[in-house]
Structure 1
Amino acid sequence: MITSGVICVIFLGILATVSDGATTTVSFLSPADKIRLKQVLSSAWDLKDVSSVNYAVSGYKLLGESIPKQQEVCKYLLERASDKNANLEDLFFVTSAWKAIGSCSGALPIANIVKILRDVTERDTSTVSELYYAVQGLTNIAQKKGDATKLIKTLQAALKKDDSLVNLGYSFLIAAQLGTDGTFAFDRIEDAIVQADEVDSRFLQFEGGLSITALLVNGAYQLAATVNNRRSVQTTKGAYSLLEVLGTLTKNKFHLPVSITLASQAAVSLEQPQVTVKVSDLLGQPLSAVPLTVTAESATRVGDDVVVLSKKKFEPVAGDTSLYTVNLMVTKPERGFYKLTVSAAVPKPDPRLVGNIGASLAVKVLSSVAVENVEVGTTDADQTTQAKLAKVSYPSKLTSVVEADTLQKLITKFNLKDKGTGKLMTVHQAFVKLTHRETKAEIIFVADADSTKTYKLDVDIGAKASEFGYLSGQYSMELLVGDSVLSNSFSWHVADVVLKFPEYTSTPTPSKDPYLYAPKPEIQHMFREPDSRPPVAVSNLFTGLLGVPLLLLFILWAKLGVNVSNFPLSLSAVGFHSGPGRDLWSVWRVLAPTEHVPDHEVSSSAWRRHLLVRQQATSWYRAKKKAALDTDTVIALIYQHNSRTFHNVTL
């Protein structure tokens, strides 16, 4: 929990490191904001998370609300404090919530809590966040924090390892608990403040979100606009952090940020000339029970910086000392946008006030418009004859019906006058809308003002026939006038018009491009039809003819008397005779037309042939001994026997 003592440490350092220019606060915590924050905090009453319970309890206290189910909350805190698995953060949240409630029955296990917390403060390796939880936890239960010198030494050592923004914020809070011993933190305040980022040239914020900003700048009032513009928090911790820092900013003896905001609409007119402002603190409470002196320093028109009002006093609103009102239309300013500069002062000067001088508010002055000199009629398209115009007054409709064809022009004239000043004026939006009575088809034309600020619209019916879709019949004519600084923008049914178009004209152009929006023809994919196949009988016949050469081979072997029974069954013989068959199989089933049998396969076949020849030579050699044949005769007989097969093999 952030204590008020940290304000002295942080804020005195701020005064030494930043300029003394006031920061204007232009918003505060409204009743609707408080209701929404209460709804965010109420999600913690299911008692499932001790940190959320702590934030909810503290947030309700800051809102001035009573704690629902207080006894159940106290029982839950007591159970968490007695839990053997409770860690340092759990004990910190328990003691903070217990202290915030202040009326729980029973007693916390102080001895066990103190032992755990002091172990952290005496440990040299404790982090900055652990030291903060331990020191603040001991403060919550009114226990001594131990040796301040050792604690400061441990804290400084931890900051050397990690001096992030969040750790600097925790160190400021620890220093605030140590009283005069915490002066070491002065040197680090500037290091933290210079890391604030400027946003929109109006306020500062720290990277890391609202929690770190509230932690670091608790008391730094130059950042009040930052935290107050972060009211859309969605977590219990965020809601508590926001309420805590706003409470600290509004309840201290050093500075009091002032919020000056519009309490009425930002637009004034002759009918509603009053501008009401609310002067309050950041929680929306009045600064004093006695009415303040609130002054409109100036009202300057945006664009040309013309001052239309100066040093005008606001009057207090009865029943609320935070509301003040002034008549901004007393000087009859022209319509437009203005910057209103407001200052507030209390009856007894208070040096704590910050942001009460020169608050800038945006207002706009509205004017009422009157339409005059309205004329509606027709003329020939070639302008050879004088236009026939009929006058009509707002808000009546022309009694006669205006008729026009494709050889004529439809003419509309009118003036716009500022009721407040009586001068002719122009507006941002001036249209003439024609609506077909039966089909409700609409066509809109822009009316432009000339140098005399007279609006005139000429519609060539023949040239615009395609835009009308050649749709003849009765149309209602409406005048549309609007502007951001008009209090009475209007739509006026001026007259009824009958337009005639040729019947033989082409059909109107469709509003949508048919190529882009019309359905496209279906794409039909054409695939090549498969070639016709022969009948099954023919296919089977040709398949059978493939076996004729093999059959012929067997027949010829039988005619020649091939000695098949004397075929050697050795490995080399079988391998040699199966080689050509394997080669043919490879060519037929495996190899592509451009491929060939690998060299090692050819070598393998040649080697098997060599072995076969040697085997046959050995057999003939043995026969030679029996038949008394010489070696040359044996070799000759072998080659004569195998000349057709082995003529490429060398023994």
Structure 2
Amino acid sequence: MIFLLSWLLLAASAHAATLSVQSPRFTISAADAKQLRSDTLSLTKKPEPLTLSPTDTLKLTFQITTDGEDGKGVQPHQTFLRFYDAVSGEEGIQPVRVTPGGKAKFELNMARPPASIPPTSSAPLEVSLILGSFVHDPAKYDLFDLYIPASQPAPTHADAAMFSPRPAIQHTFRPAQSLPPKAVSALFAGAVLAPWAVLLGLWGKVGISVPHLFAPSIVPFTALLGAFEALLFWYWVDLKLGQVLLYGAVLALPTVFAGKHALSTTGKWRAGRK
């Protein structure tokens, strides 16, 4: 029982302990390794904003310990640096490697910035340290504000223009079809019906009796001629010239044979009358 209580007290004390940061320090170096700025960070008050040029390097070192213990360094389960742009709302999370003794080191080289850095403008990034652990209370520390060069626009892909909004298509419609005068329409309608008048006149001259007009040998030829008239009317209303020529060629062959048969039959009737 005493052994169990001791383990409970130990677990409670470990959970009650909080993580703290010791000896936080930053260094800004130029491309030629010349030190531009170096100072110790205060966890209660932010220093003057840090500024990095496109070739500068920022180094951050610190050690993580716990309050209420012997001050030995510990390794949290999670250690992150958060870069937050308060203007755009963009943020980036960068994990930091910590040794079992609690020592941590982070390096930001602006010549090769990590992908976790959010897109930037002229506004500074708020840099904070986030610590997480299964056995200790989590902790968060606001370290400093950081000015870095504004992000360059993303390179334009060669096919990007194909997927960008295109100008609206302006359709040009043909004007409404104008109808010819009624006199012109009547003239052409008479021209279309004229062959029928000629046909009736010819039938009257050859002296064919009316009953022969509906004879089985004559009706197919008359029907095919009516089909030609219907085709011309259809062309006037809807068809195109190519369609008329195609359909006319199809009708032409049976019309020739029907007409030849009708003429031969008519000749026999005339010979019989004589």
Q: TM-score, normalised by structure 2?
A: 0.62
Of 119, 122, 125 in structure 2, the residue corresponding to residue 472 of structure 1 is 122
Counterpart check, 1:328 vs 2:3: no
Counterpart check, 1:370 vs 2:20: yes
AA aligned opposite 1:580: F
Instruction: Summarize deviations over 1:268-288 as a string: whole Å, max 9, x none.
Output: xxxxxxxxxxxxxxxxxxxxx
What does residue range 190-229 of structure 1 map to in structure 2 within 5 Å? none
Q: What is the match of residue 193 of structure 2?
A: 547
Of 454, 472, 486 in structure 1, the residue corresponding to residue 103 of structure 2 is 454
Taking the aligned partners of 1:400 and 1:568, their CA distance within structure 2 comes to 119
Q: What is the match of residue 53 of structure 2?
A: 405
Q: What is the match of residue 431 of structure 1?
A: 80
Q: What is the match of residue 242 of structure 2?
A: none
Of 24, 28, 33 in structure 2, the residue corresponding to residue 384 of structure 1 is 33
In structure 2, relative to structure 1, the CA distance for the partners of 1:406 and 1:468 (3 Å cut) is farther
Counterpart check, 1:584 vs 2:263: no
Of 569, 574, 588 in structure 1, the residue corresponding to residue 214 of structure 2 is 574
In structure 2, relative to structure 1, the CA distance for the partners of 1:540 and 1:486 (3 Å cut) is farther
Q: Does the 8 A contact of 2:63 with 2:102 survive in 1? A: yes
AA aligned opposite 2:166: P
Q: What is the match of residue 414 of structure 1?
A: 62
- The SS at the match of 1:449 is coil
Q: Does the 8 A contact of 1:435 with 1:476 survive in 2? A: yes
Q: What is the match of residue 493 of structure 1?
A: 142
Taking the aligned partners of 1:443 and 1:538, their CA distance within structure 2 comes to 81
What does residue range 153-232 of structure 1 map to in structure 2 within 5 Å? none
- Please report how far the alpha carbon of residue 476 of structure 1 lies from its aligned counterpart in structure 2 after TM superposition: 3.1
- Please report how far the alpha carbon of residue 330 of structure 1 lies from its aligned counterpart in structure 2 after TM superposition: 4.6
AA aligned opposite 1:409: T
What does residue range 59-138 of structure 1 map to in structure 2 within 5 Å? none
Instruction: Summarize deviations over 1:590-626 as a string: whole Å, max 9, x none.
Output: 89444775xxxx7xx88xx69x96xx6xxxxxxxxxx
- The SS at the match of 2:190 is helix
Q: Does the 8 A contact of 2:72 with 2:101 survive in 1? A: no
- Please report how far the alpha carbon of residue 384 of structure 1 lies from its aligned counterpart in structure 2 after TM superposition: 1.9
- Please report how far the alpha carbon of residue 378 of structure 1 lies from its aligned counterpart in structure 2 after TM superposition: 1.3
Of 445, 448, 452 in structure 1, the residue corresponding to residue 94 of structure 2 is 445
Instruction: Summarize deviations over 1:521-548 as a string: whole Å, max 9, x none.
Output: 3674969969977834555433321223
Give the aligned length. Answer: 245
Q: What is the match of residue 272 of structure 2?
A: 638
Taking the aligned partners of 2:213 and 2:193, their CA distance within structure 1 comes to 25
Structure 1: segments with no counterpart, 5+ residues:
1-294, 296-310, 314-325, 336-364, 617-635, 642-651
Going by fraction, where is helix more abundant, 1 or 2? 1
Counting aligned pairs with the same residue, the percent is 15
Taking the aligned partners of 2:3 and 2:101, their CA distance within structure 1 comes to 37
- The SS at the match of 1:547 is helix
In structure 2, relative to structure 1, the CA distance for the partners of 1:522 and 1:474 (3 Å cut) is closer
Q: What is the match of residue 396 of structure 1?
A: 44
- The SS at the match of 1:389 is strand
Taking the aligned partners of 2:88 and 2:207, their CA distance within structure 1 comes to 108
In structure 2, relative to structure 1, the CA distance for the partners of 1:487 and 1:538 (3 Å cut) is farther
Taking the aligned partners of 1:413 and 1:373, their CA distance within structure 2 comes to 8
Instruction: Summarize deviations over 1:567-603 as a string: whole Å, max 9, x none.
Output: 253xx65234433111323456589444775xxxx7x
- Please report how far the alpha carbon of residue 371 of structure 1 lies from its aligned counterpart in structure 2 after TM superposition: 1.6
Taking the aligned partners of 1:331 and 1:444, their CA distance within structure 2 comes to 33
Taking the aligned partners of 2:10 and 2:230, their CA distance within structure 1 comes to 107
- Please report how far the alpha carbon of residue 489 of structure 1 lies from its aligned counterpart in structure 2 after TM superposition: 0.9
Q: Does the 8 A contact of 1:371 with 1:415 survive in 2? A: yes
- Please report how far the alpha carbon of residue 397 of structure 1 lies from its aligned counterpart in structure 2 after TM superposition: 2.2
Q: Does the 8 A contact of 1:378 with 1:409 survive in 2? A: yes
Q: Does the 8 A contact of 1:409 with 1:460 survive in 2? A: yes
Q: What is the match of residue 152 of structure 1?
A: none
Q: Does the 8 A contact of 1:409 with 1:458 survive in 2? A: yes
Q: What is the match of residue 140 of structure 1?
A: none
In structure 2, relative to structure 1, the CA distance for the partners of 1:521 and 1:428 (3 Å cut) is farther
Larger relative contact order, structure 1 or 2 (CA cutoff 8 Å, min sep 6): 2
- The SS at the match of 1:549 is helix
In structure 2, relative to structure 1, the CA distance for the partners of 1:452 and 1:530 (3 Å cut) is farther
Taking the aligned partners of 2:193 and 2:228, their CA distance within structure 1 comes to 18
- Please report how far the alpha carbon of residue 375 of structure 1 lies from its aligned counterpart in structure 2 after TM superposition: 0.9
Taking the aligned partners of 1:447 and 1:538, their CA distance within structure 2 comes to 93
What does residue range 474-553 of structure 1 map to in structure 2 within 5 Å? 474-483=124-133, 485-497=134-146, 499=147, 501=149, 508-509=153-154, 520-521=165-166, 524=169, 535-536=180-181, 538-553=184-199
Q: Does the 8 A contact of 1:392 with 1:398 survive in 2? A: yes
- Root-mean-square deviation (CA), in Å? 4.9
Q: TM-score, normalised by structure 1?
A: 0.30
Taking the aligned partners of 2:78 and 2:60, their CA distance within structure 1 comes to 16
In structure 2, relative to structure 1, the CA distance for the partners of 1:523 and 1:474 (3 Å cut) is closer
Q: Does the 8 A contact of 1:376 with 1:413 survive in 2? A: yes
In structure 2, relative to structure 1, the CA distance for the partners of 1:398 and 1:579 (3 Å cut) is closer
